[in-house]
Structure formats: structure tokens, C-alpha cells
């Protein structure tokens, strides 16, 4: 798959969602840096939206900043993106979670 992206000969952007305890370690940053360097890629770091994925937790901001710094120290352009749409439940994954929550609620009793 990465070979295909290299064939485009355009700048690649990685959208990397940070999930606490899943993909936010120094080792993960080093692996991401290795891949990004190979492709001269820009890395957008995205915090996981609270409630966007049941059972997963967002990485704390201080850890996100440390992850970004580790990438930057290795010559990778890394940008922390801010979450948008949280106020209207339109952030990534929120609409799905909200829809599933509504489907699980019992229907109100019918009135005559």
C-alpha cells in the first residue's frame, strides 16, 4: 500500500488519530517517523474524540505534544489538529455513537 502512495509523486499527508495506550508511545512515534520520512509526508496528529469510539480513550494533550515533539526532532513536519464539531456532535465518530445510543433506547409508549 505504501508503495502505491509513493508512486503518486505528490506530498502525502498521514492523518494519525492518537488513542491512549494503543498508538501513542515513543516507539509508535519512531515508527511513524520512519514511514513519514520515507515519503516526505506531513503528519496531522488528531486527538481521538471523546465518545467517538466506545472503549477507547483520547491521549492526553501533554502526551500528544510529546509525540509531536518526538516526530519534529526526527525532521518530520507534524501538526496537532484541533477537534471540531464536538459542540454539535459532528466530530469524527460522534454521529455514529449518538445514532447507536438512540437505537438502544426503548421506544416511548404509544399514546391513543
| Cβ atoms within 10 Å, residue 65 | 13
User: Cα separation of 84 and 82, whole Å?
Assistant: 6
Summarize pLDDT for 37-88 with one digit per residue, the tens.
999 999 999 998 877 678 899 999 999 999 999 999 999 999 999 866 655 5
Position 111 scores a pLDDT of 66
Q: How confident is the model at residue 98 (pLDDT cuts 50, 70, 90)?
A: low
pTM of the model: 0.72
- All domains in the chain, ordered by first residue: 10-104 (3.20.20.70)
Burial of 91 by CB count in 10 Å (0-12 exposed, 13-18 middle, 19+ buried)? buried
Cell output for 98: 449518538
Amino acid at each position: 500500500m505504501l508503495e502505491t502512495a509513493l508512486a503518486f509523486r505528490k506530498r502525502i499527508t498521514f492523518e494519525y488519530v492518537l488513542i491512549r495506550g494503543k498508538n501513542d508511545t515513543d516507539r509508535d512515534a519512531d515508527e511513524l517517523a520512519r514511514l513519514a520520512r520515507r515519503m516526505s509526508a506531513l503528519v496531522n496528529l488528531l486527538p481521538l474524540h471523546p465518545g467517538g469510539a466506545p472503549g477507547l480513550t483520547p491521549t492526553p494533550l501533554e502526551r500528544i505534544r510529546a509525540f509531536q515533539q518526538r516526530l519534529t526532532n526526527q525532521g518530520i513536519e507534524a501538526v496537532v489538529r484541533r477537534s471540531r464539531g464536538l459542540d454539535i456532535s459532528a466530530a469524527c465518530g460522534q454521529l455514529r455513537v449518538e445514532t447507536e445510543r438512540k437505537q438502544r433506547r426503548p421506544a416511548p409508549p404509544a399514546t391513543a
